[in-house]
């Protein structure tokens, strides 16, 4: 076994080189704070590149740029996931943000008062750590999925790219969130498609329309950004529902699913005779199952006492009181309903960079004060 490569010590370690991590890096650089960004992917933007081929963002391009560099498309354009990936790579280069790609953090702990992050053959120490990652990290599928007939093609939405991955025959999509609805519309063009579950509402307008792109999206953004936040009673009441069930359908509407010929069925509760079993007692003889059943945080690599429940980090708008110096950016409803979006996380990133700067000043003052006391004690002797 090779020895661990010591990457030394840094003031602030940013874990995650997507839009959240790059934005945190931008604001840290503005404040003159030394930092290192590490990311598990091989290229900046790969988290977007690896999603399904037809994916487009829900927000027009005018809201998709990061601080200091507008998105290079017409403001009303709905960009593709590959355009977003390439933009992030360009942003890192133009903002001079070095990202150490191919560095997956496998453990974060603490030793001698410093955070210690380590991966496959490397380790680094830091005074502060910003975990800049979305809530959706580890694909979630039910335990009974392994009981399905091996002949059935099973994909999680994280692995789905396009319909060419599927066998001939019917498709069952499990989960009626935005991923399930978007993928369902695409798959239904080639396959008879069943969609299991119930959506949790839908945005009541077409986001591609002129009025929506230029007026309504601003109103929705204002509500999600300022009204639905942890600082308002309505926001605090709505937050648990967002965390448990996610948001409403955005681009696809329930009637679009019907018009596409998709058959709606109750939720999948198990397996019988190798086939998906529905809540109404039916089984579906399908050739493919796409699990659009969401993700877990996947933060079990954080070996610190900062969790409550199923690895849900305990924080106050991204600041972890139990572990000074540890911060989060990019999580669902971290501060507001927009916190997981490209626009919403920028406010969070700025606030966390300010918190890092304040903590750094306090530590410097404390060290100076300790040094002065030691000097005075020496003079007295």
Question: Could you report the per-residue pLDDT of 3-62, keeping only the tens digit for each?
Answer: 568 889 999 999 999 999 999 999 999 999 999 999 999 999 999 999 999 999 999 999
The model's pTM: 0.91
98 CA to centre of own chain: 21
Say if CB 243 and CB 332 are below 8 A apart.
yes
Spatial distance between the Cα atoms of 6 and 3, rounded to a whole number of angstroms: 9
Say if CB 149 and CB 275 are below 8 A apart.
yes
Give the rounded percent of residues in the chain with a pLDDT score beyond 90.
81
pLDDT of residue 2: 47
The DSSP call for residue 252 is: S
**For the chain, which domains are there?**
5-137+297-369 (3.50.50.60), 142-291 (3.50.50.60)
> What is the per-residue DSSP string for 164-196?
GGSPSS-EEEE--SHHHHHHHHHHTTTS-EEEE
Q: What is the mean pLDDT of the chain?
A: 92
Give the model confidence (pLDDT) of 154-198 as tens digits: 999 999 999 999 999 999 999 999 999 999 999 999 999 999 999
Q: State the residue for tokens 């601080």.
A: 67
Give the tokens for residue 140: 């979630």
Give the model confidence (pLDDT) of 77-114 as tens digits: 999 999 999 999 999 999 999 999 999 999 999 999 99
User: Cα dihedral angle (357, 361, 364, 370), rounded to 10 degrees?
Assistant: -140
Burial of 169 (0-12, 13-18, 19+ CB in 10 A): middle
The H-or-E segment that residue 354 falls in is helix 344-380
What band does 252 get if pLDDT is binned at 50, 70 and 90? Answer: very high
Spatial distance between the Cα atoms of 96 and 65, rounded to a whole number of angstroms: 16
């Amino acid at each position: 076994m090779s020895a661990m490569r010591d990457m030394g010590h840094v003031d602030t370690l940013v874990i995650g080189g997507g839009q959240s991590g790059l934005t945190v890096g931008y604001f840290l650089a503005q404040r003159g704070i030394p930092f290192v960004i590490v990311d598990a992917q091989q290229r900046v933007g790969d988290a977007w590149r690896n999603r399904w081929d037809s994916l487009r963002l829900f927000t027009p391009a005018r809201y998709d740029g990061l601080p200091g560099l507008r998105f290079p498309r017409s403001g009303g354009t709905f960009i593709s996931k590959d355009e977003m990936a390439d933009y992030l790579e360009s942003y890192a280069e133009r903002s001079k943000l070095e990202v150490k790609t191919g560095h997956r953090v496998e453990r974060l702990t603490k030793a001698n008062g410093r955070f210690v992050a380590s991966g496959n053959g490397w380790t680094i120490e830091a005074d502060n750590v910003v975990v800049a990652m979305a809530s959706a990290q580890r694909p979630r599928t039910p335990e009974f999925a392994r009981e399905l007939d091996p002949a059935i093609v099973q994909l999680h939405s994280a692995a789905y790219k396009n319909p060419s991955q599927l066998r001939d025959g019917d498709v069952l999509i499990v989960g009626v969130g935005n991923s399930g609805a978007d993928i369902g519309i695409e798959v239904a063009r080639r396959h008879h498609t069943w969609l299991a579950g119930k959506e949790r509402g839908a945005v009541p307008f077409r986001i591609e329309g002129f009025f929506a792109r230029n007026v309504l999206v601003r109103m929705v953004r204002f509500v999600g950004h300022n009204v639905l936040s942890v600082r308002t009673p309505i926001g605090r009441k709505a937050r648990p529902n967002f965390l448990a069930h996610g948001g409403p359908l955005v681009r696809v509407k329930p009637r679009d699913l019907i018009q596409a010929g998709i058959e709606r069925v109750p939720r999948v509760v198990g397996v019988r005779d190798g086939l998906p079993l529905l809540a109404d007692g039916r089984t579906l003889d399908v050739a493919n199952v796409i699990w659009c059943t969401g993700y877990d945080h996947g933060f079990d690599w954080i070996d610190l006492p900062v969790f409550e429940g199923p690895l849900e980090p305990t924080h106050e708008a991204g600041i972890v009181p139990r572990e000074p110096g540890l911060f989060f950016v990019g999580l669902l409803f971290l501060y507001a309903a927009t916190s997981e979006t490209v626009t919403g996380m920028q406010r969070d990133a700025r606030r966390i960079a300010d918190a890092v700067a304040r903590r750094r000043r306090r530590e410097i003052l404390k060290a100076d004060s300790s040094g002065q006391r030691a000097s005075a004690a020496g003079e007295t002797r």
